[in-house]
A and B are shown apart, each in its own frame.
Chain A
Amino acid sequence: MNIETRSVSVSLSKKQIVRGASIKVRDKQFVGLLGPNGSGKTTLLKSIYRVLKPSAGTVLIDGEDIKELSFRDTSRRMGVVSQFNNISFDLSAQEMVLMGRAPHKKAFERDSAEDYRIAEDALKRVDMLDFRDRSFLTLSGGEKQRIILARALAQQVEMLILDEPTNHLDIKYQLQIMDVVKSLGCGVLAALHDLNLTLMYCTYVYIMKNGEVVAEGETEEVITERLIKEVYEVDCALSRNPVSGKLNVSFFSAV
């Protein structure tokens, strides 16, 4: 399945946050969305997962205008891990993950053994099985993040939208989450701010600045020292990691 935005603009309180952004995620492609704080990454993602309505342009899933689809329909096709996951009533970690099954269930249908198996499997993948009976509210930021990913896994979708999924995570779990996501083999659209993670996992990237997409292409071709200087306004040097052979960014201060 694929997701596409065509000249999407989004305004929040009369201020245009995203200006005519066109991006596309093809089937099974791992796409990174980069840009400095306030460049409109999160807002663009929200217009894709339907929390915000674009003021102009269209969002398409498999060529269908998202406005024509029911929320239930889109929730069966794409899963979301967003940045904020505060809840006001308590649930156990397992209950939280089982919620990911909701899009597939009828009103009166009970959670089946299959649902429990899927939830358990999702918890295992994010290394949180031992936490399943813990109350969600007592988990640390990183543990919550992994539970939310497990919930998206339990949704069994072909496309994952991730908004800075590695926030709050220590390095082990940053890599683990990215590995888990990569191993699913589904389409991924991830807003990231860690350039090294981007270089390690994304095959294609879009770079945003001031609400516009300013560059796109194969990750290693797009991310250059010059682009990083232009977009992030910092100096850096790119080099090959001697073990993985992947490009690495190391920053330095010109002062």
Chain B
Amino acid sequence: MKKHLNPRHAVLSIAVIIFTAAFVLSVLAAVTIGAVKISLGDVYRIVLYNTTGIELGDGAFLSGGTIFEIVWNHRMPRVLMGAIVGVLLAMCGVVMQATVQNPLADPYILGISSGASLGATFSIMIGASAFFTGVLATMGTAFWAFLGALGAMALVMLLSHMGGGRVTSAKLVLAGSVVGSLCGAFTNMMIYIGKDAENMKSVTYWLLGSMVSARWPKLLLPGILCILGMLFFLTQLRTLNTLLLGDEAAITLGVDLAKRRRLYMIVTSLLSAVAVCTCGIVGFVGLMIPHIVRGFAGSDHRFLLPLASLSGGIFLIWADVLARVIIPNSEIPLGVITSAIGAPIFVYMMVKKSYGFGGKD
């Protein structure tokens, strides 16, 4: 291995390797945990057979039956969904915090979550078929959530461009809050006038996030976008670092700020919209994970981005395991778990003075 010029980089490079290993191990471990007790041997024989084709034991058992269904068609996609969504949210959090130069930014701040909630609530409470015919009427909740997220994002972009002048980070954050409260108002109105208790429950369930609906086909789009997004941002690490220095410094160090900012906004909005529409709103991950990782790894995106993304995946895998097993035969909404774990960790970091959250003290 090439000698590291900065000893810190050597440590952080090793951390990236360890976190990658932990990520893979988390996936493998989480698959063994669930309401139904299945022996480790059975779980891994099924996973091994279906990923590599190596047949250890009875082929029929490995490719069909109840145990196969649980392990391969329920648990595995669910664990992977948690991993993918966690990576997406943490990655978007890191990039958005750098892009708007605001430590409070998270993938949902630009109205994305509220737009998605509005879309989902509309779909569940009123139903698209009440207004549309043809293709639109048959689209599911995820589609409307995605549409709502994109609509909110477009509105935020439009608002922050209004009145001329440069798009500043303050404008973006404020526009996000405005659009957020506007969407929130409509969402609440629909819930308020809604009569169906069953629908109300689905809305709540959706708003709190869940991996219950994870199946292999639903993994395809988020999985592909997650990989593409990661590859894209890996080419942008230097620019992301430069953005940390503020608008003026970024420009004088050769970054076409307006263009980059717009591009990163659009990409992260799309990626978080995909995350939201696959599993609802999972709070705290995109905000908290980047801060926790920054606390020990520093602000250099060459390490922060991979470490935070992996941590996001690992965190959500285990949060979902908790959601499945804490109450036997029942599920706790994922958003509840992430916030319940996230808040104390966040408080701990605030009390522990060494990390300033970007404060200037």
With A75-B253, A76-B254, A102-B253 known as contacts, the answer to whether A90 contacts B356 (CB < 8 A) is yes
Q: Is B225 an interface position by the 8 A CB rule?
A: no
- Segment at the interface with B among A33-41, A108-116, A229-237: A108-116
Determine if A129 is an interface residue (Cβ-Cβ < 8 Å). Answer: no
Q: How far is the CA of A80 from the CA of B246 in the complex (A)?
A: 13
> A91–B299 contact, CB under 8 A?
yes
> How big is the A interface, by class?
35 or more
Query: Is A171 at the interface (CB under 8 A from chain B)?
Result: no
* A85 contact from B241, B249, B257, B358, Cβ within 8 A: B249
Q: A51-B248, A88-B103, A91-B299 are in contact. Are A107 and B238 (CB under 8 A)?
A: yes
Chain A residues lying within 8 Å of B63, measured Cβ to Cβ, are none
Distance in Å: Cβ of A168 to nearest Cβ of chain B: 15
- Whether B244 pairs with A91 at a CB distance below 8 angstroms is yes
The smallest beta-carbon distance between B236 and chain A, in angstroms, is: 7
Residues in A with CB closer than 8 Å to B101 are 88-89
Contact code string B244-259 (vs A, CB < 8 Å = 1, else 0): 1111110111111100
Measured in the bound complex, the distance between the Cα atoms of B6 and A113 in whole Å is 10
Tell whether A87 pairs with B256 under 8 Å between CB atoms, given A107-B236, A113-B5, A137-B356: no
Q: Which residues of A contact B237 (CB under 8 A)?
A: 107
In the bound assembly, the distance between CA atoms of A44 and B210 in angstroms comes to: 54
Q: Does B294 touch A at the CB level, under 8 Å? A: yes
Q: Does A99 contact B (CB under 8 A)?
A: yes
Interchain nearest-CB distance for B46 vs A (Å): 39
Instruction: Give the residue among A51, A88, A108 with the most B Cβ atoms within 10 A.
Output: A88
A72 within 8 A of B: yes
User: A105 to B238, Cβ gap below 8 A?
Assistant: yes
Cβ of A206 within 8 Å of any chain B Cβ, yes or no, is no
Report if A89-B235 is in contact (Cβ < 8 Å); known contacts: A51-B248, A84-B248, A111-B5.
no
Flag A27-57 by CB within 8 Å of B: 1 or 0 each.
Answer: 0000000000000000000100111000000
Task: Report the bound CA distance from A118 to B246 in whole Å.
Answer: 23
Q: Which of A89, A107, A111 contacts B244 (CB 8 A)?
A: A89
- Measured between beta carbons, the chain A residues less than 8 angstroms from B195 are none
Residues in chain A near residue B246, CB distance under 8 A: 84-88
Residues of B within 8 A of A142 (CB): none
Measured between beta carbons, the chain A residues less than 8 angstroms from B98 are: 89
Closest residue of B by beta carbon distance from A49: B252
Q: Give the docked Cα–Cα distance between A149 and B327 (Å).
A: 59
Residues in chain B near residue A72, CB distance under 8 A: 254-256
Known A87-B244, A89-B244; judge A51-B235 contact (CB<8 A): no
Interfacial residues of chain A within 177-206, with CB under 8 A of chain B in the complex: none
Contacts of A100 in B (CB 8 A): 253
B247 to chain A, nearest CB (A): 7
A165 at the interface (CB under 8 A from B): no
B298 at interface, CB cutoff 8 A: yes
Q: Is the interface of B mostly helix, strand, loop or mixed?
A: loop
With A90-B358, A91-B299: A75-B254 Cβ-Cβ less than 8 Å: yes
> Is A71 located at the chain interface by the 8 A CB criterion?
yes
Q: Which residue of A lies closest to B257 (CB)?
A: A71
CA distance A199 to B11 in the complex (A): 50
Assembly CA distance A103 to B256 (angstroms): 12
Q: Which of B247, B257, B300 contacts A95 (CB 8 A)?
A: B300
Assembled-state Cα–Cα distance A74/B253 (Å): 9
- B298 contacts A87, C-beta separation under 8 Å: no
Q: How far is the CB of B97 from chain A (nearest CB, A)?
A: 8
Is residue A211 contacting chain B, with contact meaning CB distance below 8 A? Answer: no
Name A99's contact: one of B5, B241, B294 (CB within 8 Å): B241
Query: Which residue of B is nearest A137, CB measured?
Result: B360
A210 at the interface (CB under 8 A from B): no
> Which among A49, A71, A94 is the interface contact of B256 at CB below 8 angstroms?
A71
Contact with A along B214-226 (1 / 0, CB 8 A): 0000000000000
Question: Does B245 lie within 8 Å of A99, measured CB to CB?
Answer: yes
Q: Let me know if B242 is at the binding interface, CB within 8 A.
A: yes
Q: A102 — which chain B residues lie within 8 A by C-beta?
A: 238, 241-242, 253-254
Not counting A82-B248, A103-B253, A155-B253, a sample of 8 additional A-B residue pairs whose C-beta atoms are within 8 angstroms of each other reads: A46-B248, A75-B253, A80-B249, A82-B252, A88-B244, A89-B299, A99-B242, A99-B245
Q: Which 8 A-B pairs have the closest CB atoms?
A: A75-B254, A72-B254, A80-B252, A103-B254, A88-B358, A89-B299, A71-B256, A107-B235
* B binding-site residues for A, Cβ under 8 Å: 5-6, 97-98, 101-103, 235-239, 241-242, 244-249, 251-257, 294, 298-300, 356, 358, 360
List 27 A-B residue pairs with CB atoms under 8 Å apart, sorted by A's residue number.
A49-B248, A49-B251, A51-B248, A71-B257, A75-B252, A76-B254, A84-B246, A86-B360, A87-B246, A89-B97, A90-B356, A91-B298, A91-B299, A92-B298, A94-B6, A99-B249, A100-B253, A102-B238, A102-B241, A102-B253, A102-B254, A107-B237, A107-B239, A108-B235, A111-B5, A111-B6, A116-B5
